[in-house]
A and B are shown apart, each in its own frame.
Chain A
Amino acid sequence: MKNWFQSKSFRALLSSLLSILIGLLIGALLILLIGLTDQEIGLKGAWDGIRLVFLGVFSNGRNEAGLLTFGFNPVSMGNMFFRAMPLILTGLSVALAFKTGLFNIGAPGQYLAGTCATLFIALSIPTETVAPWLVWILAFLGGLLAGALWGSIPGLLKALLNINEVIACIMTNWIAANVVTWLFDISNLKNIAEGTKSGYIYKTTYNNVATPKLGLDKLFAGSQINGGILIAILLAIGAYIIINKTTFGYELKACGANRHAARYAGIQDRRNIVLSMTIAGAMAGAAGSLYYLSGNTEFFWSTYQSLPAVGFNGIAVALLAMNNPIGVIFSGCFMSLLNISGQQLTYLTAFNEYITDVIIAVIVYLSAFSLIIQLWLGNRGKKSVPRTEKAKAADADASTPVVPGKEE
C-alpha cells in the first residue's frame, strides 16, 4: 500500500487530478463571487453555474419549471469526443517530442501543414474515378506526411546546426500560416457555392470524402463524432508501446534524458532528434487532417494572422498528462469536456465560456508546477527534507542498506 502510494506514476496521476480539482474549484469560486456581487444572478444563478462547471457534459438543459436537468446527453458526450480527437493528437505530438528532450511548440504549424495537404488531396482527386475511401486514406496519409515534413525542419536545424528548436518551431509556425493562406488563395477550393459565407474552403463532403462514423453516431445520436477519435486513441496506444516497449523508444528516451550518455553508448543522437520531431509533426498533422476529414467542418483559409489554438492547447494536454501517451487520451478528453461545459454555461446561464478558459489557465499553470506537487506528495510521510540536500539524502539512502553478513 505504502509502496503503491510512493510509486512515481501514481503520484503523477494524483498531482494531475489535484491540479484539475483546484482549477475547477477556482472556477466555481469565481462564479460564486460573480453571483454574490451581481443582484440579477444571485446565489441561485451561481449555484446553476457551479453545477454546470462540474457536470456540464451531463446537462440536459432546463425543464419547464426553468430548473437545470442532468443526465446522459448524447450530443454533448459525442461532441466532447469529437473535439478531443485533435487535442489528443497535438498533445501526443508535444509529449513525444518531450520524451526526447525537445519542446515542440511547432504543433500549430504542423497542424496547418496537415490540414492543407489533406484538404488539397481530399478535394482535388475526383471521387467519380477514384473510390472515396481511397481518397480518404490518401488524404490522411498526405496530412500525416505534411505534418512530419514540417516537424522535421526544426529537428534538422537542431541536429545539424544546434539551433534551438523552440525558435525554429515558432518561425515554422508562421511560415506555415502564410504558406497555407497563399496556397488556398491561389487554389480553386474556396467555397463559392454557398454564397453566404466567404473565406472558407469546401467541406470534404463536397467531394464525398468523410471519416466513417463506425456506428458511433448511433451511440451518440446528433453529435459530430466519427471514427477519428478511435484513430487518435490507437495512435496514442501505439505511441505508448513505442516509447515504453521498443528499442527505438529506449533510444529516444536515452537521448532525452542524457544526450551525452546516449552518444557515449553509440546511439545516434542527431538522427533521433530528427526522428522525434518528425513523428511529433506527423501527430500534429494527423490532428488537422482528421479534424477536417470529418466532413462537417469548414476551414477558414485566410489564417496568416493567427495560429490554430488547438496546436498550443496540445502543450496543456501533454503537461496535464505528464507526457504519458495514455494519459494524453484522458487529458485531451478532459480539455474538450471543459469546452462543452463552457458552451452549456453560455446557453443556460448568465455566465459564458470564458469561465472555463480561466479554469484551463489555472490547470495549466498548476500542471507546470506538477513536479513540485509531486515532490510535496512524495515528502508526505517522510520528514521534510530541504531541497538542496535532497541529493545527499538520496546518497545516504541508497548506499547504506546493509547486506546481512557483509558487515563484519
Chain B
Amino acid sequence: MGEASQYVIEMLHITKEFPGIKANDDITLQLKKGEIHALLGENGAGKSTLMSVLFGLYQPEQGEIRKDGVKVEISNPNDATALHIGMVHQHFKLVDVFTVLDNIILGAEDTRLGFLQKKSARQKVQELSDRYGLKVDLDAKIENITVGMQQRVEILKMLYRDNEILIFDEPTAVLTPQEIEELMHIMKGLAQEGKSILFISHKLNEIMEVSDRVTVLRKGKFIGTVNTSETSKAELSRMMVGRPVQLEVQKAPAKPGAVVLNVENLCVPSHLHKRNAVNNVSFSVREGEIVCIAGIDGNGQSEFVYGLTGLDKCSGGSITLCGKEISKATIRQRGENMSHIPEDRHKHGLVLDFSLEQNMVLQRFKEKQFQRAGFIKNDAVRQYAEMLIEQYDVRSGQGPITITRAMSGGNQQKAIIAREVDRNKPLIVAVQPTRGLDVGAIEYIHGQLVAERDKGKAVLLVSLELDEVMNLSDRILVMYEGEIVGEFDPKKVTVEELGMYMAGAKRQEKGGESA
C-alpha cells in the first residue's frame, strides 16, 4: 500500500469530450491527504468539467479515478457522497426560509419512527462548529444571515456528512475582504484536522496564501502541478494564460480635463427599507480620469448606479452630465452621453436568448445606421457585430449568430465592453466590470478602461475588489451606508486605511480633512 495511500484522491489521465471540443484532455490531478490543493485555470479551461467528472455528473471517455489507491467508479453524485466527497458550490444550495440547522441536516436527517431527531443533530453540528471555528447561529433563517455565514453553513453541511474531501468552487467570489480572510483561516484549520481540500479559483493572491500545491489547466489541457512555495504569481499566471501577464495596470498619470459628470446631494430610495439607500452623495468626474467608488457590497453602490443611469428613480438631488441636468431624464436620453457596463451582465447587460449580433445593437437598433423605415438592416447589424467581435476579440462558437447564453462569462463580458466602449460616450460607468473573470480577461478589460481614459473619457468605476480599486483608479471615493465617507489618492493611501473607511470605522468630514 505504502506509496498508493499518499494520495486520497487521484484522477488519472481523464479525457472528457463534448461534440467538437475536448473539455478535458488527459488531465491528472492527485490530492494528498491533509493538503489544500488549488485548481487554477481561466474560464472554460475545464475546471468545472473535471469536478463534474469527480462528482459523477459526467463519465470520462478515458482515465480512471482512484480513492486511497483503489480504483473506483463514480457514476452519479450519490457515489461521490458515499466516497465522502463534498462540494461547496459557487452559488449556494440552501433553502432561504429554513433555519441554519434545518439546512445542514436536509437530506441527511436522522429520524426515529418517522420523527426528526433534531436534538442529536444539533449536538453534532454544535461540536463541528466549535471544533473548526465555524461560527453560525443555528436557529437563524438563511435569508437573514450574511453571505459569509451562508458559506459556513455550506461547509458545515459537508462536515456533517463526514466528508473527507472538500471541494470549494470559487468560494471567495461572493465574499468581502474580511470574510475572505476568515475563510482562508477556516480552510487552513480544516486541512490541519486532516481534511483534504480542492480549491478552485483564478485569484492568484488567495492561491498563494492558502494552498500547498497548485494544478494548472489551460484550454482543457494539463499544464502542470507545482508546489506553491516554489512558484510565484507571475509564474502561475503565465502557466494559466500561456503568455506573460501584466498583473499591475500600466498607466500614465491622469490628465483630468473639464467636468463631465457632476452629482449633487443625490438620494435614491431603497427597496429594502424606508430610508434612502443613497444619501446626499456629491462628487464629480472629469475628462481623462478614472474615479472609483469603493465599498463593501450592499452599501448603496448598486442603488447609486441605478439612480445615475435611470434604472431607478432618484428622490432628491441633481445629476449634471455634459452640462445637462438629467436626474429626471429617461434611460435613453441619459444614454446619449453615457455608456453603462452593468453590474449584473445576465440581468441587465444581455438578452441571453438573443444572438450576439442582436445584443451588440441593444441600444442602437433605432439608429439610422441599423434601420430603414422601422425595418432592421440585418446586413449592417451583422457587419457591425463582426467588426466588434474582431476588434475586441470576443470569442464564441458561431460568431455573430451565437446565442449569448452559450458563451462563456468572460466573453459575454467582453461583448458588453465592446458594445459600451464602441458607443463612444463621454462618460463610462463600469460596475464591477471584472467580476468572476480570469486574469487574462481582467488584464484586457483594465487595459480598455485605461485606454478610454487616455482618450479623454470620464470613467466612473464601481468595484468591490480592493486590488482593482488601487490598481486602476486615479481617485477613490469610499461609500459606506449610502454616503461618501472619504476621498483618497490611491498613491497616498494604504489598503488597510481604505478598509477602515469601508467598514465605517473612520470617516472624513465634509470638506476633505480626515476626522
Contact = CB atoms under 8 A, between A and B. Distances in A.
B365 A250 contact: yes
Contact of B242 (A263, A403, A407): A407
A231 B362 CA distance: 33
Contacts of B396: 398, 401
Contact of B18 (A245, A268, A383): A383
A265 B363 contact: yes
A201 interface: no
A197 interface: no
A400 interface: yes
Interface residues of B, number: 54
Contacts, number: 131
Contacts of A36: none
Given A254-B351, A257-B353, A395 B397 contact: no
B395 A399 contact: yes
Interface in A351-408: 381-383, 385-386, 388-389, 392-403, 407-408
Nearest to A248: B374
Given A264-B340, A392-B48, A408-B243, A398 B402 contact: yes
Interface in B397-430: 397, 402, 405-411
Main secondary structure of the interface of B (DSSP, over half): loop
Interface in A253-311: 253-254, 257-258, 260-266, 268
Interface string B266-307: 000000000000000000000000000000000000000000
Contact of B362 (A261, A389, A403): A261
B311 A263 contact: yes
Contacts of B395: 398-399, 401, 403
Interface string B459-491: 000000000000000000000000000000000
Contacts of A245: 375-376
A147 B19 CA distance: 49
A246 B376 contact: yes
Interface string A147-190: 00000000000000000000000000000000000000000000
A266 B18 contact: no
A396 B44 contact: yes
Main secondary structure of the interface of A (DSSP, over half): helix
Interface stretch (B26-34, B141-149, B328-336): B328-336
Contacts of B342: 264
B358 A250 contact: yes
How many chain A residues sit at the interface, stated as a range, is 35 or more
A196 interface: no
A258 B352 contact: yes
28 contacts: A246-B375, A247-B374, A247-B376, A250-B358, A250-B365, A258-B353, A261-B348, A263-B331, A264-B342, A264-B362, A265-B362, A266-B332, A386-B58, A389-B52, A394-B406, A396-B18, A396-B23, A396-B44, A396-B49, A396-B408, A398-B44, A399-B395, A399-B408, A399-B410, A400-B220, A402-B219, A408-B242, A408-B243
Interface of B: 17-21, 23, 43-44, 46, 48-49, 52, 57-58, 219-220, 242-243, 309, 311, 330-332, 335, 340, 342, 347-354, 358, 362-363, 365-366, 371, 374-376, 395-397, 402, 405-411
Given A247-B374, A397-B397, A401-B397, 7 more contacts: A264-B309, A265-B335, A395-B408, A398-B402, A399-B395, A399-B408, A400-B219
A-B complex: 5 closest residue pairs judged by Cβ atoms: A399-B44, A399-B408, A266-B332, A264-B348, A265-B362
Interface of A: 245-248, 250, 253-254, 257-258, 260-266, 268, 381-383, 385-386, 388-389, 392-403, 407-408
